[in-house]
Structure formats: C-alpha cells, structure tokens
Structure 1
Amino acid sequence: MPQWIRACATDDIDEEDLIRFDHAGATYAIYHSPDGQFFATAGKCTHEDVHLCDGLVMGHLIECPKHNGQFDYRTGEAKRAPVCVNLKTYPVKTEGDDVFIEVP
C-alpha cells in the first residue's frame, strides 16, 4: 500500500536543482522547478544506472551526468538519447515547509 514519506524541507533544494533521497532500499530524486513546484522521480538513470543527483537541472529537464541523456522530470519522459526508457515518477505534496513523496 502506498504511503507518504517526508523527503526533505522545501528550503533544502534551490530552484532548478535536485537532491537525492533514499528510503527502504530505493533511491529517489526530488526536484524544485523554476516555478516553485516540487517533483520526484526514480533516482537513477534508466540507461546506465547512474545517480541523477550528480546531474544538471535545466528548466524542467534533468541531464544524466554520465552520457548527457535528458528526462523531463515532471513526466519522466526520456527527451534526449542515449536514454530511451522513461523515468518512474512519484506523487509529491508539500505540507508547511516539508516535501513528501508517495512511495510504494
């Protein structure tokens, strides 16, 4: 059954940046968009199993640090080769100054 887990504080992530969040053996990436919203995806690239937390956020894109493939972190859609498999995304909510993600 899915559950909401506190991932971080809202001020832990600068706009157009991300942080890594590990929970129950899984790695997630939590993003702060340029328009002030928060998003969550799987924390590793679908191409080479590299942590996305070392990647570059540009607008609504995360660029993998290994081969420069890109994903739209709002939808998980693979946007630039070599990535061709979408990222899994997770629901996010904020309560006060905290960011929560819904995990399986």
Structure 2
Amino acid sequence: MTATRVCSLSELEQDTPKRVVVKKVPIAVVLDSNGEVHAIGDTCTHGDISLAEGFVEGDSLECWAHGSAFSLRTGHPLNLPAYEPVPVYAVQIDGDDVLIDPNVTKEV
C-alpha cells in the first residue's frame, strides 16, 4: 500500500487534533509544540469517542468524555479508564503534504 495525502501542514494548528479518514480508518493527526506531526487511531478504546475532539497536552491526547490520555508516540493509555492502546501510524511529510498509510503502524 501507499501513503495517502490527508492534509497540508498549513492546515494543522499546533496542539489541535484534526480528524481524517483514510480508507475508512479514522485517524487523529496532531502537530505538537515541537513541530512534530503524529497520527493515532481516532477512537478511544474506553468508549466509542473521537479523540480528535479531545485535548492535546504535551505529548498526549486526552479523550474529552472520560479523561483517558493516550501517548502520541506509542498510543498507550496513560491513565484509566482506558487500558487498551490505540494504533500509531507512520507519518510522511512531502513538502507541505502530510501522508499516512493506515495499513502501516509505527513501531514503538
């Protein structure tokens, strides 16, 4: 499979998640305060809630509904009630384009 363009870097606001769907896979894309782009599964593993509606704090994305935070680097939950990780996808930057392949998860 090949990576798909999901947005441009200029469309991303720092520490503001953006929900994208690639080949029917919902993904939360985050430009962190260090300028790094992350892509994690957009569905909280505790409840069927979009993580892109949550809050970025440091290197984590917190679900607005019950407060579980997930590492942007590993996808692992950092607190309860979630205990299952979300997938983390490799991100490619090509010029101003952000590309993600939902079939390729990042090794953590």
Contact 1:3–1:103 under 8 Å retained in 2: no
Partner of 2:91: 92
Alpha-carbon deviation of 1:16?
Answer: 1.4
Root-mean-square deviation (CA), in Å?
1.0
Alpha-carbon displacement from aligned partner over 1:31-82 (angstroms, at most 9, x marks no partner): 1111101010111101101001110011111000110100011110110111
C-alpha distance in 1 between matches for 2:23 and 2:100? 13
Q: Which amino acid aligns with 1:11?
A: S
Partner of 2:70: 71
Q: Does 1:7 align with 2:6?
A: yes
Contact 2:54–2:64 under 8 Å retained in 1: yes
C-alpha distance in 2 between matches for 1:8 and 1:50? 22
Alpha-carbon deviation of 1:23?
Answer: 2.1
Amino-acid identity (%): 28
C-alpha distance in 2 between matches for 1:37 and 1:97? 13
How many corresponding residue pairs? 103
Contact 2:89–2:100 under 8 Å retained in 1: yes
Q: TM-score, normalised by structure 2?
A: 0.90
C-alpha distance in 1 between matches for 2:23 and 2:96? 23
Higher strand share: 1
For structure 1, which runs of at least 5 residues remain unmatched after alignment? none
Question: Post-superposition, which runs of at least 4 consecutive aligned residues in structure 1 deviate over 4 A?
Answer: none
Contact 2:55–2:61 under 8 Å retained in 1: yes
